[in-house]
Amino acid sequence: MKTLLGPRLQFDWKIVTVTIVSTLLLMVDYYHRLTPNKGYDRIILYLVIPLLVIVLVFRDDPRDYGFTFGDWKAGLVITAIAILLIAPVLWLVARGGAMTDYYKSQLSGLPWNTAIDLFGWEFFFRGFILFYYVRRFGPDALWLQAVPFALAHLSKPEVETLSTIFGGFAFAWVAYRTRSFVYPFLIHWFVASFTIVVAAGLLH
């Protein structure tokens, strides 16, 4: 049906909601601090608020958004393999240069700080955004959610930021394969913690 403004537009209201809410939450995280700890901010913004949207607005089950252990056997195997493959690469990349300058000051509170920082972050991208996008766009959702994930890294060292479109896809594949955000979280937690340890010069 055409109108004066052209063909009539029809939207999936949940896609619109996920897209708008996720974009606004990323902006709030960038411009504001809600608590003295950035990790606690991210628990509120990227875990609590999306869960409230899922349960109260969408009336959906959080398990349909990866809030479950899913295929835990495959998840643990994939996590172990990923750690073994990623560790040597991080050991080479995180030694010296911009990576050291950026991460060496973050050693305090490790690994607790990285855990609380990334738990909500991973649910946000590999749960809230990914699994509803999958309903509408199928496997293409793995690439779509990687775009805001990569852009959210723009303040970090260039070598890391350039890799995040591929890393975001890989994390999404793990979540998609296991039906859970837990395993990308575990892998990302290792990546962040190991990077900080190497950058701080604790591994030679």
- pLDDT tens track for 8-36: 888 999 999 999 999 999 999 999 999 99
Q: What is the mean pLDDT of residues 85-89?
A: 95
Largest CA distance in the chain: 68
Q: CA 82 from chain center: how many Å?
A: 16
Per-residue confidence (pLDDT) for residue 140, from 0 to 100:
98
Asked whether 89 and 195 are in contact (CB, 8 A), the reply is no
| DSSP helix/strand/coil, 6 | strand
Nearest to 115 by CA among 176, 51, 191, 64: 191
How many other β-carbons are positioned within 10 Å of the β-carbon of residue 20?
A: 10
Residue 3 has pLDDT above 80, yes or no: no
Per-residue confidence (pLDDT) for residue 8, from 0 to 100:
80
Q: What is the mean pLDDT of residues 92-121?
A: 85
Judged by average pLDDT, the poorest of 46-60, 104-118, 170-184 is: 104-118
Per-residue confidence (pLDDT) for residue 93, from 0 to 100:
85
Per-residue confidence (pLDDT) for residue 43, from 0 to 100:
97
Rounded CA separation 119/24 (Å): 19
Per-residue confidence (pLDDT) for residue 25, from 0 to 100:
98
Residue 62 has pLDDT above 70, yes or no: yes
Per-residue confidence (pLDDT) for residue 173, from 0 to 100:
98
Q: What is the mean pLDDT of residues 155-183?
A: 96
Rounded CA separation 181/94 (Å): 25
Backbone torsions φ then ψ of 200, nearest 5 degrees: -80, -5
Q: What is the mean pLDDT of residues 117-133?
A: 97
